[in-house]
A and B are shown apart, each in its own frame.
Chain A
Amino acid sequence: MSVERDLFYAETHEWVKYLDGGRALIGISDHAQEQMGDVAFINLCDEGEIISAGDEVGDIESIKAVSEIYSPVSGTVSKVNDELLEDPAALNSDPYGAWLLELEGVTENNSLMDADEYEKFIEEE
């Protein structure tokens, strides 16, 4: 189980990677994909939707479970990772490469955890 260094994490196990120009990518952590097991299908919201931090932005179906995804930050959905929707198994093999959504006009969320804090959080959980 790995925790990528330069990302920020929510207690619901999503990560955010801030990009330049007020944009950000969001995805789920290695720990989250391990808990889910083999991912079979991903439902995501549409491009153009305006999201507040904590909003549900989709769900991930594994064989016998469904897990909701909550956005760690606020912004507007500018891209949906269509390639991932076609090949959801990538979420298991490369959780930090397999981003779900790109947001723009992002307000940074200071209540998120950094890598060290998140590592501690999942140990205690």
Chain B
Amino acid sequence: MSELIFDKSRSGRRCTAIPKCGLDEAAIPPEFKRSEKASLPEVAEVDLTRHYVNLSRKAYGVDNGFYPLGSCTMKYNPKVDEDAAELRGFNDIHPLQPSYTVQGALYAMDTLTKYLCEITGMDALTLQPAAGAHGEFTALSLIKAYLLDHGETKRDKLIVPDSAHGTNPASAAMCGFTVINVPSTPEGLVDIELLKNAVGDDTAALMLTNPNTAGKFDINIKEIADIIHGAGGLLYYDGANLNAVMGIVRPGDMGFDAVHLNLHKTFATPHGGGGPGSGPVGCKSILAPYLPGYTVKKDADGKFVFDRAEKTIGMMRSFYGNFLVCIKALSYIMTLGAEGIREAAENAVLNANYLMEKLKDTYDVPFKGTCMHEFVMCLEGLKKETGITASDVAKELIDMGIHPPTMYFPLIVHEALMLEPTETESRETLDNAVEALKKIYVMAHETPDILKAAPKTTPIGRPDETTAVRHPVLRA
């Protein structure tokens, strides 16, 4: 039984009391008053606590076990970062306090901005976007503003490889761009010839994830950059996979003009079951005049103050970004330092290659050779042989205490499983996962029914998603 907190409500029960008002109540005029009180739960603190503690036991985080979810960079989230973000001096300050009363907050924003510019090779950066997709929309809005400001009104095409995350084309459409999909080569790279055909005087930009979702660094990146720049377009770097290359190569040096980062992936801030994250956008100086929101600078007295870019595109949201998430990322970068950042990338790539090497004789790995921080397995052959799908394998992994890899992505691989172990996993953890996946491969041939019936160890079995969509029940 999964009772809702609303089911546990009993009339008259209370949890938190607030101090007496001490003033005569000011009444709300009847014409402005709601007719009935909102039906919120009425529960005692002990019942409230047990309800959510028990729900937490039906959730699974990085702190529970291995989470090799491709393109999501589920690395361990250091606890010191949480403590830093809980400092009262960061929590109990109003965003509209005078800047001289929040010098510590502005210092933190300024420092993180500088660190992220250094890591990406960019000239300027905004911390305002709340998530990766929000960062994409922000960066594309910058590019659009730049193009329009330079009289480039006809550049309305955005080139996106077919291996891209779904957010890329969706963000492009939000900016009114028409998306041109460019197919990948069998090696999972951008097809240079097709790219050449796709560019023209209507090209606004190329959106690229490098390393891409096939786990490959696009070796032709310089040529790609030249093709796009040669046609008068700009290059946008989707930073989802930066964890593979930070400290080794920088988007700015590859030729990119704008980049978004996911602090909740690369910089170890926890995902929170779906946010809050943070998606800062860095750019080269040509785009800096259009940055949104508020940037930090020093005034003549050496005090930090807020500033707005000269031709700012405006606000992407309220205030300055997910500030506390930024504090966590700052704490993380301070802990790692220059060496640690590079080592993190090296170990992420090493772990991925180790895992791939151990699995490639069992499962089909369509993109050959060294991978970066993640790799893709294709289970189409297994499905034909045994009827076992990528999803069946994933569900059995759950019963073995491992969070499944990303399923059915990238779209260019059928029955795909995409694994990203990250740098924070030990060799033992990786060996254990290899063993589990090899065992499942045997089971697929010998006892497929067990896989079809998995998972068995979870609070529920496979849910009926069809009914959920056909007859939506979206609240109690």
Contacts and interface: CB of A to CB of B under 8 A. Distances in A.
Interface in B38-89: none
B339 interface: no
B414 to A, nearest CB: 13
Nearest to B466: A38
A23 B84 CA distance: 70
A19 interface: no
Interface in A36-64: 38, 40-41, 61, 63-64
A40 B466 CA distance: 7
A88 interface: yes
Contacts of A64: 408, 465
A41 B470 CA distance: 7
Contact of A89 (B408, B465, B470): B470
A89 B467 CA distance: 10
A98 to B, nearest CB: 15
Contacts of A41: 469-470
Counting chain B residues whose Cβ lies within 8 A of the other chain, the interface size class is under 10
Contacts of B465: 63-64
Interface in B460-476: 465-466, 469-470
A61 B468 CA distance: 13
Interface in A61-99: 61, 63-64, 88-89
Contacts of B466: 38, 40, 63
A40 B464 CA distance: 12
A37 to B, nearest CB: 8
What size tier do the contact residues of chain A reach? under 10
A83 to B, nearest CB: 15
Nearest to B470: A40
B167 to A, nearest CB: 16
A63 B463 CA distance: 12
Contacts of B408: 64
A41 B466 CA distance: 11
A89 B465 CA distance: 14
B449 to A, nearest CB: 22
A40 B471 CA distance: 9
Contacts of A38: 466, 469-470
A63 B468 CA distance: 9
Contacts of B469: 38, 40-41, 61, 63
Given A38-B470, A41-B470, A63-B469, 13 more contacts: A38-B466, A38-B469, A40-B466, A40-B469, A40-B470, A41-B469, A61-B469, A63-B465, A63-B466, A64-B408, A64-B465, A88-B470, A89-B470
Interface of A: 38, 40-41, 61, 63-64, 88-89
16 contacts: A38-B466, A38-B469, A38-B470, A40-B466, A40-B469, A40-B470, A41-B469, A41-B470, A61-B469, A63-B465, A63-B466, A63-B469, A64-B408, A64-B465, A88-B470, A89-B470
Q: Which 10 A-B pairs have the closest CB atoms?
A: A40-B469, A38-B466, A63-B465, A40-B470, A63-B469, A63-B466, A89-B470, A40-B466, A41-B469, A88-B470
